[in-house]
Amino acid sequence: MEIKRIEGRKVAGLAALLQPVDELWYSGEWDEGIFTHTAAVVGSRRMTQYGQRVVEKLVPQLVSGGVTVISGMMYGVDQAAHRACMECGGRTVAVLGFGLKWPGISTNDLRFMDEIVKKGGLVVSEWENQPGTLWTFPMRDRIMAALAQEIYVVEAAAKSGSLITAEWGVKLGRKVWAVPGPVTSKVSEGTNRLIADGKAQMWLPQQQISLSLKDRDTNNAEIYAMLQNETLGIDDLARKLKRPVEELGAKLSLLVLSGEIIEKEGKYFLGSGNWVKR
C-alpha cells in the first residue's frame, strides 16, 4: 500500500480538537467528498451475535443514505462495520490506533486494510511508525469522533474504549446514538448507561428516536399480557409476538431498566404493578 501524508489542519473536523492533529498518514485516494456525510460505528471487540445483527441492520441504513462509515478497524464491531459497509457498496474510513508503517501489523490486518483501500476507502493514522499502546487507542478515538458527524455505539462494556469515542462526541457536539442491549450482557453495560445518563439517544432498527425510560408505549401491553401467565425468553417472546428479536431486545432492556419487567437467567416476568386484569 502506498502511504502518504496530509496536514491535520486541512482535514475537515480535526480543527475542533483541543489536542490538535498535526498530520495524518493515510493510504487510499484522498477525496474530501468521503467526509461530506460521516458516521462512526464503534463497539466491543467481544461482539455478540446481537451486536452482529445490529451492525447488519444499522450499516446498510447508513450506506443507503450516502453516509461514509468510520471505525477503528479492531476485531469485533469495528471490523464488522467496515465489512458490512463494503458489502453494501459504501466507502469506509479506518482510523488506526497505531502507525501505518508499524511492523507489528498482522498479515490479516494488512489484507483488510488493502481491501478497504481497493474499494474506495481510506486507512488513516496520526502516526507513521508508532506501535499500538494503551494511550494510542484513546488518541485514535478522538480522531474518529472529530471526523464523524454522528456516532453509533453498538456494544460497549462499562469501561469500553468505545465510550471514549462517545465522550469525545459529546464534547465536540456530535449526535451520539447507543444501541440498548440485554441488562445481563457485560457488553451492553456501557451502551445502556449512555442512554440512562442522557449522553446518547437510543437507536432502534428503522427508527432513530429519543425515548425516555419513563415513556410507556401502549404496545407494551401485549408484552405484559404474554408475561402474565408464564416466564419467557426473548426468542419465545419474539416468536409469539411476531416481532424482530433486535427490536424486542431493545424494548425489553428499557422495560427492565425501568423496573416494569424483571429478567432472571435469560427469562422475563412482570414486575409488581404491571399485572393485566383479565
pTM value? 0.75
Q: Name the residue among 213, 81, 258 with its Cα closest to residue 155.
A: 81
Counting every residue, how long is the chain? 278
Residues 177-190: what's their mean pLDDT? 88
Q: Name the residue among 40, 244, 250, 43 with its Cα closest to residue 146.
A: 40
C-alpha cell at 4: 502518504
Residue indicated by cell numbers 447507543: 178
Is 207's pLDDT higher than 60? no
Please tell me whether residue 69 adopts helix, strand or coil conformation: strand
Which residues have CB under 8 Å from 242's CB, separation 6+?
Answer: none
Say if CB 101 and CB 124 are below 8 A apart: no
pLDDT digits (tens, 9 = 90+) for 226-247: 887 788 888 898 888 888 887 7
22-26, 28-32, 142-146, 240-244: least confident range: 240-244
The CA angle 151-198-262, to the nearest 5 degrees, is 105
Written as one letter, the residue type at 160 is S
Confidence of residue 206 (pLDDT cuts 50, 70, 90): low
Q: What is the pLDDT of residue 205?
A: 66
Confidence of residue 3 (pLDDT cuts 50, 70, 90): very high
Please state which of the four CATH numbers 3.40.980.10, 1.10.150.120, 3.40.50.450, 3.40.50.300 is assigned to the domain occupying 4-208: 3.40.50.450
List the chain domain ranges. 4-208, 220-270
pLDDT digits (tens, 9 = 90+) for 54-80: 999 899 989 988 999 999 999 899 999
d(CA 171, CA 252): 30
Is 214's pLDDT higher than 50? no
With b meaning 16 or more CB within 10 Å and e meaning fewer, what string describes 65-98? eebbbbbbbbebbbbbbbbbbbebebbbbbbbbb
